[in-house]
Every structure is written in C-alpha cells, then in structure tokens.
Amino acid sequence: MEKEINKILGDLLIQLAQKNMGALDEIHHLVGKALYAIGNKFFYQKADIEDTIHDLYYLISKKAHKYPEVTLVHGLRRFSKIWRRTD
C-alpha cells in the first residue's frame, strides 16, 4: 500500500513539475489528513495549520520543476525534501 501511495505521489509531483496545477488537488486529497495531523502537534488554531499547509503547497508548486523527473518518482521522500528546503 505504501509503495502505491509513493508512486501516485511521485506521478503527481511529476505532473506538478510540468505545470499541471490540478495535481495539487490530488496531492491534497492524498496527504492532506496527514498534514493536518502533523500540524495539530505544532499549532493550536486551525487557521495556523491551514496557512502552513497552504505555504507548503505553494513551495512545492514553485520548486517541483527544479528536480529531475527521476527523483520525483520517489514521491514521499522528494515531497519531504522540498518541504524542508524552504529557502
């Protein structure tokens, strides 16, 4: 199951790198609940969680094209690396 999700996320990141902004909706559908769960550990207000998730999606949409398609296939790992490199 995890490998399937990783492949799907990788494919969505590739689509996003190709400027298919519709892939963001699918990414949110795939990982949104997990991001909210993580956000609940760091923020007390729902608005703060939503702002952080929005910022993450913005960064991913802006940076996905910078990575080679070969690395985007490793969806979850690449997703987290893009998130950590916010500079």
pLDDT, tens digit, for every residue of 20-57? 999 989 989 988 888 888 888 888 999 998 998 898 88
What's the pLDDT score for residue 87?
44
pLDDT at 5 over 90: no
| pTM recorded for the entire structure | 0.72
What percent of the chain is predicted at pLDDT more than 70? 76
Q: Would you put residue 19 in left (φ > 0), alpha (ψ -120 to 50) or beta? A: left
Mean pLDDT of the chain: 79
From the list 66, 78, 68, the residue with the least C-alpha distance to 31 is: 78
